[in-house]
Structure 1
């Protein structure tokens, strides 16, 4: 392990096998989430540990902890795509609340810039910690990004569904309206890894997530998926303790043409995220998106009766998907942005 000095800080890489360092990263994440997103559940230890030990396929990941006089003051992560987007890098910066406004964030960003450039990357992309809906509310992360010459390339809204407040009659109406255009399709559902028979179709659809979902000004190339990558990502997800519930639509030809996923964690099982939803272009217009989302919500609650809150995030320009989510009962919760910095 090589430790470097950075603006008075001691910066050391996080070795995946170093339980103490990984635990310190987790505790840093907990302090940041507790300060910035107090109405969210605390981070899941199983997931955070798994992020270092079970990376997504096609991504090289390195993390660092910044210490001030032996105390963890911040940390950062650099993710390098290796199968596509070879000119891009993704960065994440955390600064402990009690150590903010001391230049630590800028020092960590400078480190990420150096490392990304050294790897031949020309662009750094990062998600801003989400902030209140009120545009007049303080947004220190956004101010930091702007001051560092980053631009908000993709503006998003995180929406929240309070499961207990969902009106069953509304779901029944949405389901009936969707089924009126559902001729020639059937639904399949599973928990956990993608079944072998659907791997190729799932790979095709997952790849379209990077081309069909609005990216606005974000400069991100199409992602390359095949069956092996889907299997590897499923294995990583399970190793991170994720509880994956999927509903998909199958055309009469036997092709899987749409899917949606709700993902929970090993801890805080009352909370989950609605992740990828995609419909193959040639099968749009049949209300498949609505049908699979409604069916998957019911399926997820049946699998985890304690589920109470589901969050989902959409680009503000993704009006079609927003309309479906809001019809189900999702309501705006916080704002987000994907920031882009040319190196």
Structure 2
């Protein structure tokens, strides 16, 4: 390994010139992924600097001896939940790899996390199906074993909806006395309490492998702050709720899309409470939310989601809707 002098410094996200340099490193490092996953500058310049009450975000850059920005880091310090965790991201421009830049960025992020009392450091790295990537090899070499495995999937909204009518006909009787209620931007008032309860148990009901994820705590105040943050950062939140015969919400799915670049949307989460499973509610909710997305943003081309390979039920739902695996997403974790 060559020894490149890399100086790591924290940047102020309100400094647009510094933020642009940080963004350019991430954009260059992400080009090798299976799809255009890095947000556009128009999106990032609004969304990244916006403060969040539930976590602290630290952005760093690494410069070489010629004062060129060749590395970037992002540290998430969770405040509302999981105070033992820190989430780290490391990016290096391809022509500066294997020269110590990534190691310098990582060491700086680790030191900040440990100083804040964190005992588990997590990150997500991506790789082609059936192959390794610079990210997976870097994490393995730096003592970050894989704690959870997922697959990143995309559905092509330009072709897949043609097959959704058949799903409607096939599943029409499966939801029985249940119903699906859609929402945009804000959860309906009458379902806020049930929605917060589902968010609070979400992490305990989806496969997370060996990740040290503890329970979350959601209430109306936190939910409304999240809704407002989406609005302020130029994102539209599109969701659907499954409603039981007694009128109580018992499942949800939600996705988001950036208003200034609506070509690509992302699923945040989908859950049906165990006692209400078996009625194909997840499929009904996803069909509803995806169709509403296309009504609001007819130019949207893809929706991205991620699922653990062991989550057979959700994988079956996504496959029926036309989702296809494009890469592996590996959650890695280091205990300190």
Normalised to the residue count of structure 1, the TM-score between the two structures is 0.91
Paired position in structure 2 for 1:324: 317
C-alpha displacement of 1:251: 2.2
Checking the alignment, whether the CA contact within 8 Å between 2:29 and 2:91 is kept in structure 1 is yes
Checking the alignment, whether the CA contact within 8 Å between 1:158 and 1:333 is kept in structure 2 is yes
Checking the alignment, whether the CA contact within 8 Å between 1:151 and 1:340 is kept in structure 2 is yes
Paired position in structure 2 for 1:230: 223
How many residues align? The count is 333
C-alpha displacement of 1:138: 4.2
2:70 to 56, 61, 73: 73
Deviations 1:247-293 (A, max 9, x none): 21222323222111232123432221222111122221221111111
Q: Secondary structure at the match of 2:28?
A: helix
Paired position in structure 1 for 2:279: 286
Q: Secondary structure at the match of 2:127?
A: coil
Distance 2:168 2:11 in 1: 47
C-alpha displacement of 1:167: 5.4
1:59 paired to 2:52? no
2:267 to 251, 266, 274: 274
Distance 1:172 1:333 in 2: 25
Write the mapping of 1:212-223 to structure 2, written as runs, cut at 5 A.
212-223=205-216
Deviations 1:270-318 (A, max 9, x none): 2212221111222212211111111222111111111221121111111
Checking the alignment, whether the CA contact within 8 Å between 2:13 and 2:49 is kept in structure 1 is yes
Distance 2:244 2:40 in 1: 37
Q: CA RMSD in A?
A: 2.0
Stretches of structure 1 that go unaligned for 5 or more consecutive residues are: 1-5
Stretches of structure 2 that go unaligned for 5 or more consecutive residues are: none
1:312 paired to 2:309? no
Distance 2:34 2:78 in 1: 31
C-alpha displacement of 1:214: 0.3
2:158 to 164, 182, 186: 164
Checking the alignment, whether the CA contact within 8 Å between 1:162 and 1:309 is kept in structure 2 is yes
2:127 to 106, 128, 131: 131
Paired position in structure 1 for 2:5: 8
Paired position in structure 1 for 2:188: 195
Distance 2:51 2:42 in 1: 13
